[in-house]
Amino acid sequence: MTLDTRTERRTAPLSKTQIVEAAISILDREGEDALTFRALATRLVTGSGALYHHVASKDDLLAAATDDLIAHVTRQAASEATPEQALRTLARGVFDTLQRHPWIGSVLSRDPWQYAVVRLIESIGQQIQSMGVPGPAQFNAATAVMSFILGLASQHASRARLFPPGADQTALRDVALRSIAARWMTLEPSEHPFVREVAKILPDHDDREQFLGGVDIIVRGLRSLREDAMDGDGSDFCR
């Protein structure tokens, strides 16, 4: 008697949405290196050919997975009552998404032309326009917000490279920050007074509160641009 060990193939049609959801699951659990078409085909009980019908390469798949998650964030922001609230919701959503899916940081950082980045800059720009920021300053304002967000993405990309998937990133972060703070406290006080002061709060600071505090500073600055324009003092917006 022989046993049939062949794996049953999926008979129902496979959608791109199913592929992206499965890819996100692999990325979250095992990291970017674990995402292969073979692993994805096994997860979905299908052949690689069915995957290539929807996505051309691993880079395309990473871009699609990233865009799927960023689209959820921009939809939430668009539902807010005011543009200021929308910008804060957008920034908070990006931060929380990067916390849950740290692999997104490296994807956003290495390809500035992917649609997830376009989606972000469009969402930011629409809110800046709605705030009444003067036309000549809108590009500078939008790119400032975008650069702040991509800086966060780059930080998470570095953390994802340093910390393996499944590691206790909070504990590892705490150890790293305490080590950095200890080194900063050994610097010459007369040459590095600010850095030494920051070292006192670095180990125990909250990343989320720090990021959202920076966003709030930017939003207040954008509001000042609008108010200056209304007062007629808008000659230096683009300088």
Q: How confident is the model at residue 232 (pLDDT cuts 50, 70, 90)?
A: low
**Looking at the domain assignment, is residue 27 inside a domain?**
no
Q: Pick the closest to residue 225 from 149, 147, 145, 151 (CA basis).
A: 145
Q: What is the pLDDT of residue 224?
A: 87
Alpha helices in 101-134 (DSSP H): 103-110, 115-131
Is 212 a residue whose pLDDT tops 60?
Answer: yes
pTM: 0.83
Interval 28-55: pLDDT, tens: 999 899 999 999 999 999 998 899 999 9
Q: What is the pLDDT of residue 48?
A: 87
How is residue 138 written in tokens?
Answer: 């809108």
Which domain, by its residues, includes 186? 168-221
Is 60 a residue whose pLDDT tops 50?
Answer: yes
**Burial tier of 104 (Cβ tally within 10 Å: 0-12, 13-18, 19+):** buried
Q: How confident is the model at residue 4 (pLDDT cuts 50, 70, 90)?
A: very low
**Looking at the domain assignment, is residue 44 inside a domain?**
no
**Looking at the domain assignment, is residue 179 inside a domain?**
yes
**Looking at the domain assignment, is residue 61 inside a domain?**
no
**Looking at the domain assignment, is residue 233 inside a domain?**
no
**Looking at the domain assignment, is residue 197 inside a domain?**
yes
